Structure 1
Amino acid sequence: MAGLVVTGTPRAPIDLLDALAGYGVATVHEAQGRDGLLASPIAPVQSGTRVAGSAVTATVAPGDNTTIAVAVEQCQQGDLLVVTPTAPCDMGYFGDLLATSLKARGVRGLVIDAGVRDIADLQAMGFPVWSRHVCAEGTTKGNLGDVNVPISIAGQIVNPGDAVLADDDGVVVVPRTRLAEVLDAAREREEKEELSRARYLAGEIALDVNNMRPMIEAAGIRYVDYRTWKEGLGS
């Protein structure tokens, strides 16, 4: 039965969330073993924004945004609201008024596997959103989902309190209990990439920077002079 609201859920520490926001979604996805990435249809409605927050989760009934209003009350500084409908729906569940309410509570953004609207207003007020759809059609009220329970969204399970990182590349979820570990791995990966970047700037190419030549040789690569290749085509 819907209508469950779990209160007092643990959250990721703010300092670790702020540290996570120092890395890109692609880096963190790789750092945690290519795991936690939401499916690519969940996309930003703005550009140039990166946020990390502690997940407040919510399910919503198809075409009804009542539970988003319920979830707002459970949100606090440093949170990121993550919403999924109990059945696919592209309607505009969320707009500038709900965003104003969330922003006043210190919420860092919204991830929703459904539609949003008032995009120009959201961009102007600087409230970041990642959604599957943009749709002007509004929802009704009166049907409940659940708040702060584990949810399945865009191919991933999100638990309340998990760290959620979102930028222009998409959205990645880091389990709260693994956050410190993933941060260390992301730091190591970025340091390694800085060394690689210096080699690229010096003129080296990926085949050598990434030691790919033995791999492509084992895969059977062949180099043939153009004249020999043309002659072979004609024979």
Structure 2
Amino acid sequence: MEHTEIGVVHTSITRADPAAVAALSAFGVATVHEAMGRVGLLRPYLRPVYPKARLSGTAVTVLLQPGDNWMLHVAAEQIRPGDVVVAACTTESEDGFFGELLATSFRARGCAGLVIDGGVRDVAELEQLDFPVFARAVNAKGTVKATLGSVNVPVVCANALVRPGDVVLADTDGVVVVPRERAAEVARTAAEREANEAGKRERFRAGELGLDMYGMREELAKLGLRYQD
């Protein structure tokens, strides 16, 4: 997908159903990724900038120009409580687009966190604010405000398509995006998966092997696996 819209702010977007967002927020990124059929992950180089950072919410998307954070200020006005800002860049850039002052502004609008395919700074202050950020890099290098990007357009962030209003979840395992129209369905599947895993967990605790629980022995033997004393 190519970024095509530059210099536009879409002020009206369709957000995922709040009940579905709340349901999804109970699950980890790995569970949601599996529940969707092993899709939706953003690249694993996006990492929490402080330990135990976690977020979930509906996406307000931002398309940045390299070394320029102007559109993050523009995006602040579009944030509604429970939104997560998802920022992509027209080309790779690890400059420090975001810091404590913008986090304070975003928090005042009810923002649930930031996912950015770029750099951020003021990490100690972000942790103090408990404002969760998942970023490509931590970088003290500042940015300018000179070139237009866009807000609330579909973006490709860390190789994943994110549309305004999609559900974004992030934890120590990574970041995943759930298309807004699939949010309720994926939440149901995730709940079923968790219930199934709970039963397996008890069997593992009791000492049962995955080889037997999953019926692996016959297939391994067919492929020629041999045990030698």
TM-score range normalised by the length of the shorter chain: over 0.9
Amino acid at match of 2:142: G
What is the root-mean-square deviation in Å for CA atoms of aligned residues? 1.0
Q: Report whether the alignment pairs 1:175 with 2:179.
A: yes
How many residues are treated as equivalent by the alignment?
225
Determine the structure 2 residue equivalent to 1:206: 210
Contact 2:53 2:133 in 1 (8 A): no
After TM superposition, the structure 1 = structure 2 runs for residues 23-102 of structure 1, keeping only pairs within 5 Å, are: 23-102=27-106
Deviation at residue 206 of structure 1 after TM alignment: 1.3
Distance 1:97 1:210 in 2: 51
Distance 1:59 1:192 in 2: 40
TM-score of the pair, normalised by structure 2: 0.96
Q: Report whether the alignment pairs 1:123 with 2:96.
A: no
Amino acid at match of 1:130: F
Distance 1:161 1:40 in 2: 22
After TM superposition, the structure 1 = structure 2 runs for residues 134-145 of structure 1, keeping only pairs within 5 Å, are: 134-145=138-149
Deviation at residue 15 of structure 1 after TM alignment: 2.3
Distance 1:30 1:169 in 2: 13
Distance 1:155 1:220 in 2: 39
> CA, structure 1 residues 215+46, in 2 after alignment: closer, same or farther (shift >3 Å)?
farther
1:19 to 12, 18, 23: 23
Secondary structure of the residue aligned to 1:223 is coil
Determine the structure 2 residue equivalent to 1:231: none
Deviation at residue 169 of structure 1 after TM alignment: 0.6
Unmatched 5+ residue regions in structure 2? none
Deviation at residue 220 of structure 1 after TM alignment: 1.8
Secondary structure of the residue aligned to 1:74 is coil
After TM superposition, the structure 1 = structure 2 runs for residues 184-199 of structure 1, keeping only pairs within 5 Å, are: 184-199=188-203
Unmatched 5+ residue regions in structure 1? 226-235
Amino acid at match of 1:152: V
Percent identical across equivalent pairs? 51
Deviation at residue 121 of structure 1 after TM alignment: 0.3
TM-score of the pair, normalised by structure 1: 0.93
Distance 2:134 2:88 in 1: 12
Contact 1:16 1:179 in 2 (8 A): yes
